[in-house]
Structure 1
Amino acid sequence: MTKVTNIAFIRAKSCQSEELGRQLLALVAPSRQEAGCINYDLHRSDADPDIWCVYENWRSADDLATHFTLPHMQAFIAAVPNLVEGELDLRRFSMISLPAPQDT
Structure 2
Amino acid sequence: MTIVAIFEAVAGREDELAAALAALVAPTRAEDGCLDYDLHRDLERPGRFLFYENWTTRAAWNAHMESPHLRRHRETSPPLVARAEILQMEPTEGPD
1:81 alignment partner in structure 2:
78
The AA in structure 2 aligned to 1:91 is L
**Unaligned runs of at least 5 residues, structure 2:** none
| 1:91 lines up with 2:87 in the alignment | yes
After TM superposition, the structure 1 = structure 2 runs for residues 52-71 of structure 1, keeping only pairs within 5 Å, are 52-71=49-68
Q: CA offsets, 1:27-85, max 9 Å, x none?
A: 00000000110010000000100100011000011100100101100011112311100
Aligned 1:1-104 pairs, distance under 5 A: 4-86=1-83, 88-96=84-92
TM-score normalised per structure 1: 0.85
Deviation at 1:96, TM superposition (A): 3.7
Q: Aligned pair count?
A: 93
| Matched position secondary structure for 1:47 | coil
When the two structures are superposed, what TM-score results if normalisation uses the length of structure 2? Answer: 0.92
Between the two proteins, what is the percent identity of the paired residues? 33
Q: Which runs of 5+ in 1 are unaligned?
A: 98-104
Alignment RMSD: 1.0
